[in-house]
């Protein structure tokens, strides 16, 4: 299938050509990282395009800005409508990634950001396939610690927060790994640069809590619900670094990564060194859901056409 050309973006309430969506070089977000973003996936099943957990992403989208008193000037309903109609405007009939974001506009170098500070809101969309090899990836524990609530709120999806993730990603790539695993301030497992982490031990799924600086991931939440419906025990608790090496399986979850098995950590083989059975089972169920082929979870998907 020929890839669609995302000619249009949504910018401050209007559909405009990408080349016409411009901002000043004095945009505050360029200087200080005062931007809020979300990531959603649209899945094409040959008949319709389904957006996964649209309303939940928009709720988190607004809440991230609230932490920093950065205002989203549009209602949740308006953002949802804009996302759906942007897909239509670009005639999207293949799987895609959707990136809504809002940011502080022209505001000088003033650091006193308030709810009344001027903001812009935009939505872009583009073709997107697999972020990682679905057969499994090699990871390394980063020397860079994950940001902590004592300094930078890790539950907010802020542009500036991801400089921390960039450092960890650069380090892991230099060391020959596909992805990093980050520890929190206490040395426990937190998350990957852009994904949540699950380990499997004795058929139990274990994942770090928000107190370990782990983002409250929507894909993570989905996997927890799916796993529980499949009658697996799921535990949110602190995970020591050593437990990574002893895990039967490890996998990442995220909008871009979906469910990605980890086959090694720091050069140590995890389990049998291949995607584990639980990860494969969860991924199979997840794929059915996002493609609109599982009625039980039909409330998680929004049809575009």
CATH code of 84's domain? 3.30.470.10
In a domain, residue 62? The reply is yes
Residues of the chain with pLDDT under 50: none
Q: Do 102 and 26 lie in a common domain?
A: yes
In a domain, residue 24? The reply is yes
Respond yes or no: is residue 157 known to be catalytic: yes
**Number of structural domains, the chain?**
2
Residue pLDDT, tens place only, 142-165 = 999 999 999 999 999 999 999 999
CATH number at residue 141: 3.20.10.10
Residue pLDDT, tens place only, 211-223 = 999 999 999 999 9
Q: At how many degrees (to 10) do helices 54-67 and 76-89 cross?
A: 120
In a domain, residue 230? The reply is yes
Residue-number span of the structural domain to which 54 is assigned: 8-127
In a domain, residue 109? The reply is yes
In a domain, residue 295? The reply is no
Q: Which residues contact 11 (CB under 8 A, 6 or more apart)?
A: 21, 120, 121, 122, 123
Q: Do 183 and 264 lie in a common domain?
A: yes
Residue pLDDT, tens place only, 68-85 = 999 999 999 999 999 999
* Prediction pTM value: 0.96
Identify the pLDDT of residue 1: 56
| Active-site residue, from 47, 157, 204, 268 | 157
Of 81, 107, 127, which residue constitutes the final position of a domain? 127
Q: Do 141 and 122 lie in a common domain?
A: no
In a domain, residue 182? The reply is yes
Identify the pLDDT of residue 3: 76
Of 127, 160, 180, which residue constitutes the final position of a domain? 127
User: Which tokens sit at 184?
Assistant: 């929190």
Q: Do 154 and 264 lie in a common domain?
A: yes
């Amino acid at each position: 299938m020929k890839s669609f050309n995302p000619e249009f973006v949504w910018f401050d309430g209007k559909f405009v050509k990408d080349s016409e969506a411009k901002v000043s070089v004095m945009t505050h977000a360029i200087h200080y990282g005062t931007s809020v973003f979300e990531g959603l996936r649209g899945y094409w099943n040959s008949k319709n395009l389904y957006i996964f957990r649209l309303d939940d992403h928009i709720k988190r989208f607004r809440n991230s800005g609230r932490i920093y008193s950065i205002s989203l000037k549009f209602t949740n309903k308006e953002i949802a409508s804009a996302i759906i109609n942007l897909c239509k405007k670009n005639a999207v009939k293949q799987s895609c990634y959707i990136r809504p974001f809002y940011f502080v506009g022209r505001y000088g170098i003033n650091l006193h950001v308030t709810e009344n500070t001027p903001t812009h809101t935009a939505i872009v969309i583009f073709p997107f396939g697999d972020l990682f090899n679905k057969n499994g990836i090699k990871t390394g524990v980063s020397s860079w610690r994950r940001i902590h609530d004592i300094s930078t709120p890790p539950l907010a999806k802020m542009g500036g927060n991801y400089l921390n993730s960039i450092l960890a990603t650069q380090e892991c790539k230099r060391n020959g790994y596909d992805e990093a695993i980050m520890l929190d301030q206490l040395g426990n497992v937190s998350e990957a640069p852009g994904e949540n982490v699950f380990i499997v031990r004795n058929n139990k799924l274990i994942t770090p809590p928000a107190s370990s600086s782990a983002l409250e991931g929507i894909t993570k939440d989905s996997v927890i619900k799916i796993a529980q419906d499949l009658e697996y025990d799921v535990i949110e608790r602190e995970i020591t670094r050593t437990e990574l090496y002893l895990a039967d399986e490890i996998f990442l979850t995220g909008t871009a990564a979906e469910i990605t098995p980890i086959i090694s950590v720091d050069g140590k083989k995890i389990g049998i060194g291949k995607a584990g059975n639980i990860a494969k089972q969860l991924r199979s169920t997840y794929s059915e859901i996002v493609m609109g082929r599982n009625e039980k979870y039909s409330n998680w998907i929004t049809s575009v056409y």
